[in-house]
Amino acid sequence: MKKFLALILALCMVFALCACGQAAAPVAAPAEAAPAEEEIPDAASLVSDAFIDPVADWAQYDEMIAQIKAETDYAKRTELMHEAEDVLMSNYCVIPLYYYNDIYLQKDYVSGMYCNLFQTKFFMYCELANGADTLRINLASEPDYLDPALNSSVDGACLAANSFSGLYTYNADGVTAPACAEGYEVSEDGLTYTVTLKDGLKWSDGSDLTAADFEYSWKRAVDEKTAADYAYMFDGFARTEDGALNVTAIDDKTLEFVLAAPCAYIEDLMAFPTFYPVKQSEVEAYADWETVPGGWCQEAGFVSNGAYVCTGWDHDVSMTYEKNPYWYDADNVKVEKIEYMLSADDTAIFAAYNAGNIDIADSVPTDEVANLLDNPEFHIIDALGTYYAAFNCKSDLFADKTPEQAACMRQALSMLIDRDYICENVGQTGQVAANAFLPLGMADGNGGIFKTDAINEGYYDPYAINNDYEGTVEAARELLKAAGYKFDEDGTLSDETPIQLEYLTNTSSGHIAVAESMQQDFSVLGIEMTISQQDWNVFLEERKNGNFDFAREGWIADFNDPINMLEMWITNSGNNDCQFGR
């Protein structure tokens, strides 16, 4: 450009000299220098060293989880789990918002109900001081599955824990205790377990329950035809030469199983619903049992082995459970009947509680929480889990982005979220803003705690948007520029490169309030987010199948070990909603 201008000026001088008797032409003023182009950072330079492509290269993560499960040095195992979380958090598909606690309303005449850290509620030892023989509860809306091998929801786990019994359970102190098992012995190498069952175990139809029922149920849970979301929980078990799960009924009262590596949380597994027994003849009596594995217990009257048995089911309205006289501890069950109100409408549930139509309500409208904090019937208890939002890594939002650009885009949106506002104004019960997927206070599997500090042991400052609003917004803008987005002079997205996304959530006042808060947070940069509300069961299926851009999520730990919250993200996990590796 400079040479071109010099040539033009030289030609002007020649013409001036040749023009005899004419006035010389005025010399043009020097041209202004063109503004320097803005330097856009390379997205690849902005992602973590732990970053891998969550679609094409996720097999590396799968291998990390397999290595953790095979590791016998518990200190090394803890180190590997930190590395796995580094990988998980580096792509910003998982956006932690806060660490859970659990809230519920319970009438003062109800006693004996207890919970564990995983939000499972146990009703079999409840007592009613009002003279009634029926406990009336709302947990949620219509359950997705009652088959314990297929359930993956917290409310479904509550139903399972009160109508089925595994080898182990949780007591009122929240620790594992024998249920169908008397106890077990372990080989010196920590791999072979020999479990002895209690005498006289029965199904709810009065037939004998034996070790063979556990062998069948565990092998069924890992069968691909069952398509259990939690089949990966058996990945730490050894396989026989023909590839079958290494579990064997030695006789009616003796179950033997073999692990691939020692497992510190084996009793938690034996207490988890996926490990509960189901009766083979009942499962396979359903006409389409091979293609619809949960069909056998989609109506009242199915056989189970827990404290209660389902005797009535008005779909989408109510369920009735009655005391199972064949349960091993039936003599200590005081409440004869449980009636479940099926609803996800917080307002309707709260009205039913206030009218005296239910005794326990497992949810509360967001706008009522502040008024209930001093009410002795309002309970806030500890829980081990994380409320988060999740991006589908295969969403069309990222179709024209490199993996690194997509990660920068998601990180930018994460930075804009005011987590403190969500905790204070939506949660309202002392939730802690989250900056890691694994929650505070979780054991590390080696005698310590995986994380103890919400600020210094996470992946970002969860209060940055509060402490430095302008700086944080600018940092998010720079990340979006690295992802290929352009901005107008007012600092909002150019019409040339808009961001429009849909947030998927179920219908609940608290979840909607969180969505609306994020919607407002994103708008500061001109990002447009619409909110799509769906009924619970539809929502679960759409999310599982990857039919979303951005979705409401929550994960309550199934047991107190980090592997539980890391293994759910392997490629073939039924809980891998982000669609990693697919």
What confidence tens digit (pLDDT) does each residue in 98-148 have? Answer: 999 999 999 999 999 999 999 999 999 999 999 999 999 999 999 889 999
| Whole-number Å distance between alpha carbons of 493 and 223 | 49
* 36 CB burial (10 A radius; 0-12, 13-18, 19+): exposed
Residues 163-178: pLDDT tens digits?
999 999 999 999 999 9
Q: What is the pLDDT of residue 38?
A: 77
Residue with tokens 């009655």: 322
Q: Torsions phi, psi of 409, nearest 5? A: -60, -45
Strands 318-323, 432-433: pairing is: unpaired
Give the separation between CA 398 and CA 409, rounded to whole angstroms. 9
DSSP state of 568: G
Instruction: State whether CATH 3.30.1490.20 applies to domain 95-100+381-552.
Output: no
Tens of pLDDT along 455-486? 889 999 999 999 999 999 999 999 999 999 99
The first and second tokens of residue 371, run together, are 């008024």
Distances (CA, A) of 226 to 236, 289, 541: 19, 9, 16
Both tokens assigned to 330? 């039936």
Among 37-41, 145-149, 432-436, which is the least confidently predicted range? 37-41
DSSP of 260-323, one letter per residue?
SS--TTHHHHHTSGGGS---HHHHTTSTTTTTSTTGGGSSTT----SSEEEEEEETTTEEEEEE
pLDDT for position 41:
86
CATH topology agreement for domains 95-100+381-552 and 108-358: no
Which pLDDT belongs to residue 394? 97
Question: Which CATH class for the 108-358 domain?
Answer: alpha beta
Going by C-beta distance under 8 Å and a sequence separation of 6 or more, which residues neighbour residue 175? none
- As a whole-number percent, the residues of the chain with pLDDT over 70 amount to 94
pTM over 0.95: no
Rounded CA gap, 541 and 121, in Å?
A: 24
Q: 51-55, 184-188, 454-458: which has the minimum mean pLDDT?
A: 454-458
pLDDT above 90: residue 10: no
What pLDDT, on the 0 to 100 scale, is given for residue 364?
A: 94
**What's the N-to-C CA distance of the chain in angstroms?**
50
The answer, yes or no, to whether residue 331 has pLDDT greater than 80, is: yes
> Residue 555: what are its φ and ψ, rounded to 5°?
-135, 115
| Dist CA 413 CA 391 (whole Å) | 11
User: Are the C-beta atoms of 514 and 529 separated by less than 8 Å?
Assistant: no
403, burial (CB in 10 Å: exposed 0-12, middle 13-18, buried 19+): buried
pLDDT tens track for 523-561: 999 999 999 999 988 999 999 999 999 999 999 999 999
What is the distance between the alpha carbons of residues 438 and 164, in angstroms, rounded to a whole number?
A: 29
Question: What pLDDT is stored for residue 343 in this prediction?
Answer: 95
Residue with tokens 């829980």: 383
Mean predicted lDDT score pLDDT of the chain = 93
The half-sphere exposure of 292 on its side-chain side, counting CA atoms within 13 A, is 10
Amino acid at 250: I
Q: What's the Rg (C-alpha) of the chain?
A: 29
Domain boundaries, the chain: 95-100+381-552, 108-358
